[in-house]
Amino acid sequence: MEIINESSTPVQTLAQSNTPKVPPQYIQPPQLRPNNHHKPPLSLSNIPLIDLSLSSDSLLTQLSSACRHWGAFHVLNHGVSTDLLDQMRAVGSSFFEDLDASQKLMYKCDQNSPASEGYGSRMLVSENDDVVLDWRDYFDHHTFPISRRNPSRWPHYPPNYRNVVEEYSEQMKMLAQKLMAMISESLGLPSSCIEDAVGEFYQNITVSYYPPCPQPELTLGLQSHSDMGAVTLLIQDDVGGLEVLNDDKWITVQPLSDAIVVILADQTEVITNGEYRSAIHRAVTNSNRARLSVATFHDPAKTRRISPAPELVAKSRPRYQEVLYGDFVKSWYTKGPEGKRNLDALLL
Ligand SMILES: O=C(O)CCC(=O)C(=O)O
Ligand SMILES: [Fe+2]
């Protein structure tokens, strides 16, 4: 029998071995398993949906409520064509499903360096081996600033892969800028406030592939976390598995093929002095179908110092310490997210 070393084997390879049980490294402690939470009926469960073509007043009111109470919401009429969203999902799924394991491994990322570009499975860089692993493989692309972009490291198959990622990256950057302006305005701030605080965008695109899992009740596709940067834009396929924590309940984000999920990340919480909250979210697995999502992260440079906007501090008091973004990233990848523990450590 072939011996598989699970900590470095792609999850897809494990899943294809048709093992009836997940290896122990993937088993979550009982309190973190997905079925331990009460689930409202699906029909009652979704994050807010905001139509960006609404008139300015009602748009800003809806945005403000979604950012304050959820930190995650769908947007429609966002200006990105459904055709491009479908192409991005199609090339991502073709890479994972049409290439064999050895072809994918040619793009292997450096597992010892956090968020390194390429194909991998393990997110955290931990010295000990006691971390529970996610039931997920991914491909991470460095897309902005342009000086970080090297499409020759991205998949060469399918043939349109690299063109689609480049076009998708541009469109996501423009949408992130538009959203940051609207989110600033919804707090009564100048429209450039959040983008000025973030500075030049460091954009990464992560295609996540969650193979079917023989024991979904014991595993997570991606552990509970908030994203560390400023704003994440996410699309998923029709399988579903993304959940957002709201009022201590896990709410399923129902897939909507032409909508984009906006997830506020930790630096937006700091800049808005806690008026708007980053969303805790996770991905659950299922035993029937592989699932794909594409997350586009917009982050500050590692050398950037992030602190609450002076306009908001003037109204109350600073609620977060200033942080060097590179320090925040380091702590996230070494200690692990555990919900929002890294952000909570900045609370004053
Ligand atoms: O797959 C998903 O829906 C979630 C992905 C995600 O949260 C992430 O990559 O940070
Ligand atoms: Fe995330």
Indicate which ligand has the atom closest to the C-alpha of 243. Answer: 1
Which residues does 38 contact at the CB level (< 8 Å), separation at least 6?
A: 249
Prediction ipTM score: 0.99
**Domains of the chain (ranges, CATH numbers):** 2-344 (2.60.120.330)
Comparing 113-127, 219-233, 240-254, 295-309, which segment has the lowest mean pLDDT? Answer: 113-127
**H or E element at residue 141:** strand 137-144
| H or E stretch at 82 | helix 82-98
In this structure, are residues 326 and 303 in contact, taking their beta carbons and an 8 Å threshold? yes
Contact present, 229 and 296 (Cβ < 8 Å): no
Q: Considering only residues 335 and 268, tell me which one the structure prediction assigns the higher pLDDT.
A: 268
pLDDT tens figures, 230-285: 999 999 999 999 999 999 999 999 999 999 999 999 999 999 999 999 999 999 99
Among candidates 45, 31, 71, 27, which has minimal Cα distance to 227?
71
Ligand 1: residues with CB < 6 A are 206, 208, 222, 227, 234, 236, 242, 281, 283, 293, 295
Specify which residues 202 forms β-bridges with: 299
CA–CA distances in Å: residue 66 to residues 45, 49, 143, 188, 260: 15, 9, 28, 16, 14
Ligand 1 atom 5 nearest Cα: 295
Cα(67)–Cα(72) distance, integer angstroms: 7
Cα(340) to centroid(ligand 2), Å: 12
The more confident residue out of 130 and 221 is 221
Minimal-distance CA residue to ligand 1 atom 3: 242
Tell me which DSSP letter residue 29 carries. Answer: P
Sign of CA dihedral 311, 313, 315, 319: positive
101 band by pLDDT with thresholds 50, 70 and 90: very high
Mean per-residue pLDDT over the chain, rounded: 92
Which 8-state DSSP code applies to residue 75? E
Ligand nearest to the CA of 208: 1
Cα(60) to centroid(ligand 1), Å: 26
Band of residue 128 on the pLDDT scale cut at 50, 70, 90: low
Cα 228 to averaged position of ligand 1 atoms, centre (Å): 12
Q: Residue 103: pLDDT above 90? A: yes
Q: Is the peptide bond before 158 cis (omega within 30 degrees of 0)?
A: yes
Tokens of 16: 């294809």
The residue whose CA is least distant from atom 10 of ligand 1 is: 227
Task: Tell me the pTM.
Answer: 0.95
Residue 115 has what pLDDT?
A: 78
pLDDT at 4: 40
**Maximum mean pLDDT: which of 2-16, 84-98, 102-116:** 84-98
> CB-based contacts of 162: which residues, under 8 Å, 6+ apart?
151, 154, 155, 156
